[in-house]
Every structure is written in structure tokens, then in C-alpha cells.
Amino acid sequence: MGEPIYRRVIVKVSGEFLSGPDAFGIHQPTVERLAHDLVAVRKLGVTFGIVVGGGNILRGVEVSTRGVSRPTGDAMGMLATVMNALVLEAALERAGAPCRTMSALNMPQVCETYERQRALRHFAEERAVIFAGGTGNPFFTTDTTAVLRAAEMGCDAVLKATNVDGVYSADPKTNPAATRYDRLTHQEALDRELKVMDGTAFALARENAMPIIVFSIREPGSIAQVLQGQGRSTRVGS
């Protein structure tokens, strides 16, 4: 294995990825594969945290269109991220990576409550940390959570795992003429309204000079490859 480019990162994984080939829910073989990929990251000597979405279980925005208020719908979505985090935590522990789930929502019977200093101690003791519960506030996405936690933890970058190998000018699934970018600034991503992350996440990353590396997680080992500067990806940053 080559030397990693980044030594401390947040890996952002969508909830939909955890459903694997299924339409919704948790696909255990996919969770186990992700855990083994993250163990490979640990073997590189990289300290990492994970932010996982909850879209495989419930999307707060969708719930709020059915008569539930947006804050309540978002709270339900945050609970879904905690469920995903607990499943991934167990898989990481089985794979040999010490791990803790920390939730922005206070639920001490289930997992630790997020506290920055405690999370930093986990990092110092070479534990992975899964940051669940979003920011703890409605109207903020888990993309924004990933950038926020990366800034708080003093990370070198956010690794945004997607189904495509970078950022494109349009959806490559529907537009064969879409162009893939190798590099973008945060401002260019905002000006072009690229939808790989929400605008709040890009703006927060810009203010904190936080690089965002967008890559495909489809192939096993892709996280470690990105950390070593291999494979196809898009770097969004200054």
C-alpha cells in the first residue's frame, strides 16, 4: 500500500448505499463490505470518522410532504441515521476496528452523545467514530453534517462516496454528454449548482478550506484507493 494523501478524514456514505441491491432497508453483505473497506483505511494509518445518511429507511423531506411538519420529519430522518450507525458500528467491531457511535441527539441508552472533546479522544485512541443524528437540528443534511464534523475534528478532507466516479456537469445516467470534472473550487460548485452535495455543505467547506473528494464506492477497496491518490475522483477545494 502507498502512503495516504490524507491522514484524518470523514467518510460520507449515503443511507441508500446500505440497502445494496434492495429498494430499501439494510443489506447486511453491503454493510460488511463497507466495514472491511474501512478496516483497510485503518491499516493505512488513517484516522477516520463516518457520517451515514438514513435514506434507506426514511427521508425526512419526503415524510414532511405527507402532513408531518418538516422539523418532525427531519427528526425521524435523524433517528434513521442512528439505526444505520449502530449496524455499521457492530460490523466494524466484528471486522477488527474499534468504533463508537456518537449521536447529536441525546439517547444515552443507545449510544454516546456527541461531544467534540470526547470524539477527539476516541480519535487519539485510534477508534473510528460514526457521527449519527445529523447536526441535531432540522433543515440540515448529512452532507452538511459531514463537513461540520470534519471541521470540528481537524480533518484533512471529506470523502464523499457516491455511485459515480466524480462530479459531472449533468447526471451521467441520463445525459451521455455530461462532462466529468477533475478539480473544482467550492465556489464553482456553488455557482454551477452541482447537486452532488447541497449548497450549505459546499459553503461551509469553502469557509473552512475543507477539500471534498467525490468518488464511486461501487468497487471494493475504493476508499483506500482514493486516499492513496488512485482511481477516478473529483477534488472540490481551493
Q: What is the pTM of this model?
A: 0.95
Task: Provide the CATH topology of domain 8-236.
Answer: Carbamate kinase (3.40.1160)
What per-residue confidence (pLDDT) applies to 67? 84
Which has more pLDDT, 63 or 121?
A: 121
In a 3-state reduction of DSSP, which class is residue 13?
strand
* Residue showing cell 478539480: 183
Q: Poorest-confidence range of 60-69, 90-99, 159-168?
A: 60-69
What per-residue confidence (pLDDT) applies to 1? 58
What per-residue confidence (pLDDT) applies to 17? 95
How far is it, in rounded angstroms, from Cα 56 to Cα 142? 13
**Is 120 a residue whose pLDDT tops 70?**
yes
Confidence class of residue 146 from pLDDT cuts 50, 70 and 90?
very high
What residues form DSSP beta bridges with 48?
Answer: 9
Helix locations, 68-195, DSSP H: 70-94, 116-124, 142-152, 186-191
Confidence class of residue 2 from pLDDT cuts 50, 70 and 90?
confident
Give the pLDDT mean for 109-131: 97
